[in-house]
């Protein structure tokens, strides 16, 4: 008798599965930056002075295109590789919550605001009366890392975690995570743009504090883009996430910006005002109002469980009504009689069976999510973290385990 042999998937298979889980816009940015670097490498192009963000050229010649070309070009293989490896988990998490088109707009907004902050700081420092420092006006900056720092700040505030691990070596408070990375990269790496990374952090905080709310379009803007026939091929892609959609299994915690009344500048009031901007998990069963900064069908963990139970009860009641309506003694139509011919009883039974099958499939998805959650809890993971990780992984337990292990690391 042959012994039972457990084999693991090969490296190529695991890489394909990992890449298939990356959403549309995130993977598109990775491919675009990689192709641009490859073309520059093969063609021998290294005149980055023509495309980098150079404040002096933007001011004197109004070369605004540098704001967007600078984020797509990278100076070395390690530069593009490190930035793209950092982008994949951040972009995947935010794209699953916001949607593909909304994340693309966010990247465009962050690139613009980063450049504006960069330009303002460089101009101010260059024209200090006592000690002018014109070096920043002639600093040539390229790379996607400015937007990545902004996304780090946004994702950290959205997740609500209390601490973050720095390269798996030590943990720091979440509110200092981006600043610690800023200092470490400046000390460990050479030829790094301190001002570019700093402006990325400032843009991230400005976004989370709601300072860019007037620059965020409404849901109708994204719906009109998603319904355009020009993007129909993109929308049909498996990794494309609609802005009106959400996670298939469970719900993610939602950013809460509920404001509190302020009566003076006492320490208690100041702390309440500051804590109102921090991510919080509600315990009520009502669904929180949608925040334009962090859109999606995000619900609190407590309300997600109550919502699942309520949905299951309503589905059972609906199934009972459908079965009653399919009986001969109970007419299916309750509207007043019209001149149009009524459908046959066979047609009604077909519609009822399709509806019942659809509801049963939905209930099966909820049951599968609960079963996988119980397995993760039995493995020793904390239930709240397991539920968030499983929701972020779209119900895939292997991906959820990787998320939980990375958080523990």
**Active centre residues (catalytic):** 145, 197
Determine the Cα–Cα distance for residues 135 and 125; give it in Å rounded to an integer: 9
For 14: left if phi > 0, alpha if psi spans -120 to 50, otherwise beta; the answer is: alpha
How many CB atoms within 10 Å of residue 37?
20
Q: Where are the beta strands (DSSP E) in 51-195?
A: 163-166, 170-173
Q: Are 188 and 197 in contact (CB under 8 A)?
A: no
Helices (H), 276-344: 301-325
Give me the count of residues in the chain: 409
Burial of residue 103 (CB within 10 Å: 0-12, 13-18, 19+) is buried
Determine the Cα–Cα distance for residues 290 and 298; give it in Å rounded to an integer: 8
CA dihedral 270, 276, 282, 283 (to 10 degrees): 20
Determine the Cα–Cα distance for residues 80 and 270; give it in Å rounded to an integer: 42
Tokens of 168: 């798996």
Q: CB neighbours of 60 closer than 8 A, spacing ≥ 6?
A: none
Please provide residue 173's backbone torsions phi and psi, each rounded to the nearest 5 degrees: -60, 140
Q: Shortest CA distance to 319 belongs to which of 359, 346, 351?
A: 359
Determine the Cα–Cα distance for residues 119 and 309; give it in Å rounded to an integer: 53
Please provide residue 292's backbone torsions phi and psi, each rounded to the nearest 5 degrees: -65, -25
Residue 173 β-bridge partners: 163
């Amino acid at each position: 008798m042959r012994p039972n042999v457990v084999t693991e998937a090969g490296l190529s298979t695991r890489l394909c599965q990992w890449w298939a889980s990356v959403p549309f816009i995130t993977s598109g940015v990775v491919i675009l930056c990689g192709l641009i670097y490859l073309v520059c490498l093969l063609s021998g192009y290294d005149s980055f002075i023509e495309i980098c963000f150079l404040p002096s050229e933007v001011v004197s010649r109004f070369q605004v295109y540098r704001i967007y070309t600078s984020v797509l070009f990278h100076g070395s293989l390690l530069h593009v590789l490190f930035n793209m490896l950092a982008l994949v988990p951040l972009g995947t998490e935010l794209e699953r919550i916001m949607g593909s088109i909304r994340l693309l707009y966010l990247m465009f907004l962050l690139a613009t605001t980063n450049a504006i902050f960069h330009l303002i700081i460089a101009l101010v420092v260059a024209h200090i009366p006592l000690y002018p420092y014109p070096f920043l006006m002639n600093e040539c900056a390229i790379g996607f890392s400015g937007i990545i720092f902004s996304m780090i700040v946004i994702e950290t505030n959205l997740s609500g975690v209390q601490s973050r691990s720095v390269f798996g070596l030590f943990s720091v408070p979440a509110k200092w995570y981006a600043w610690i990375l800023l200092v470490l990269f400046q000390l460990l790496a050479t030829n790094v743009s301190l001002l570019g990374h700093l402006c990325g952090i400032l843009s991230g905080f400005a976004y989370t504090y709601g300072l860019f709310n007037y620059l965020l379009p409404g849901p109708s803007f994204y719906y009109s883009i998603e319904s355009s026939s020009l993007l129909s091929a993109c929308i049909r892609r498996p990794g494309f996430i609609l802005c009106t959609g959400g996670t298939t299994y469970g719900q993610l915690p939602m950013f809460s910006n509920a404001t509190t009344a302020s009566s003076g500048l006492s320490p208690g009031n100041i702390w309440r005002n500051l804590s109102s901007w921090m991510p919080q998990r509600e315990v009520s069963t009502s669904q929180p109002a949608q925040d334009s900064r962090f859109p999606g069908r995000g619900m609190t963990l407590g309300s997600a469980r109550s919502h699942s139970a309520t949905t299951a009860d309503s589905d059972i009641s609906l199934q009972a009504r459908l079965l009653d309506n399919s009986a001969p003694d109970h007419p299916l139509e309750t509207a007043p009689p019209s001149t149009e011919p009524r459908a046959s009883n066979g047609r009604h039974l077909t519609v009822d069976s399709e509806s019942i099958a659809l509801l049963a499939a939905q209930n099966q998805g909820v049951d599968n999510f609960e079963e996988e959650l119980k397995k993760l809890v039995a493995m020793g993971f904390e239930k709240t973290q397991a539920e968030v990780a499983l929701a972020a992984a779209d119900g895939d337990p292997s991906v959820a385990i990787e998320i939980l292990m990375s958080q523990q690391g």
